[in-house]
Amino acid sequence: MLTRKNQGCFEPLNRDLYKVSAIDLPHARRLAFGVVLAQAAVALAVAAGTWAFADRRAALSALLGGAIATVGSLVMAGIVLGGRSAPSPQRALAMFFVGEVVKVVLIVTMFVAVLKTLDVAPLPLLGTFGATFVVYWIALLARMPGAGGLQRGA
């Protein structure tokens, strides 16, 4: 029940409930483009494994699924971190949202183009797309402070 005393108060019960991880621009670029590189490596590895255990069509489908995710991430990283100087926090947030929208539109467009124009195997296409998406979560967990994340240079 809200009383006049606590009405409108959004302060967390525990001050450590909200943690913010700050990273400077050169490290953010390195992290973002490192994620893109890791996604490309995962896509190539899955495509090679698919080729070893399946046919050429499945391997090409796996490669295309990984490429769709990798290109989307590369475009977003370029939009968000492409500037030469550190933007204001408001501009950085706006660029993040613009980058995310462009990424989603680009990914949907690439999926539609691939599915309409090429004879692909859906499972390797979507499976490799999902595998490259996991790279984001691994990178995020590796950077989280206090959650057992790996902190290089700290």
Domain that holds residue 66: 25-143
pLDDT score of 122: 94
pLDDT score of 45: 96
Question: Do residues 66 and 39 touch, judged by C-beta distance below 8 A?
Answer: yes
Looking at the structure of the chain, the number of domains it has is 1
Is there a domain that residue 105 lies in? yes
pLDDT score of 93: 85
Is there a domain that residue 2 lies in? no
Blockwise average pLDDT, block size 10, the chain, 154 residues: 51 52 66 90 96 94 96 92 74 88 97 96 95 85 62 49
Distance CA 110, CA 141 (A): 28
Is there a domain that residue 16 lies in? no
Is there a domain that residue 11 lies in? no
Is there a domain that residue 15 lies in? no
Two structure tokens written together for 122:
């859906």
Amino acid at 31: L
